[in-house]
Amino acid sequence: MAWRILSDRYRPRLLGLAFVITGSRVAAEDIAQEAFVLLLRNSPCHSADTLMPYLAKAAYHLALKEVTRSKRLVGLEGVEVEDKTAETFEAVIREETQAEVGRALRSLRTEHREVIALRFQGDMSYEEISKTLDIPLGTVKSRIFNALKQCRVKLTQPGE
């Protein structure tokens, strides 16, 4: 029961963080699950306030590993799989909005995409991001500022 509560609480953010870094929903699912496995294996002494940064850091490193691994794989670009599920108009709009935001995030340079993922999906503070990435706090702040500015421009450009 406790694991279900933890999963319900933290899994969506871990999925988002992993998806922003990898660009793959399947990989994000695996990474979120593996982060929980690491939590179970290592059982660190964390309070509820520090559990998300621990999971986010684990998911971040797993996502980087996945990106490196996937670069060695042959892609299946152009292959389309038809989804036969009936969707409501709102679901289609929500999915398209998420896809646009995802495209904007994936258009960022890696260092910008990583800080955005850790901050907004990983729920990490600037200081925690600084320690995780081993970069100065000012660099974290400027990367987040510039990444958000680039996304804002990309998302407000008319029809691309």
**Of residues 62, 58, 18, 11, the one with CA closest to residue 39:** 58
Instruction: Give the model confidence (pLDDT) of 1-60 as tens digits.
Output: 777 887 888 888 888 888 888 888 889 899 999 988 888 887 666 555 578 888 888 888
Structural domain of residue 115, as residue ranges? 2-74+87-156
pLDDT for the residue 11: 87
141 pLDDT above the threshold of 80: yes
Residue 81 inside a domain? The answer is no
Token pair recorded at residue 102: 């995802």
| Number of separate domains in the chain | 1
CATH code, domain carrying 51? 1.20.140.160
pLDDT for the residue 105: 84
Residue 82 inside a domain? The answer is no
Instruction: Give the model confidence (pLDDT) of 63-120 as tens digits.
Output: 888 888 877 655 545 555 555 455 577 777 777 877 788 888 888 998 999 899 889 8
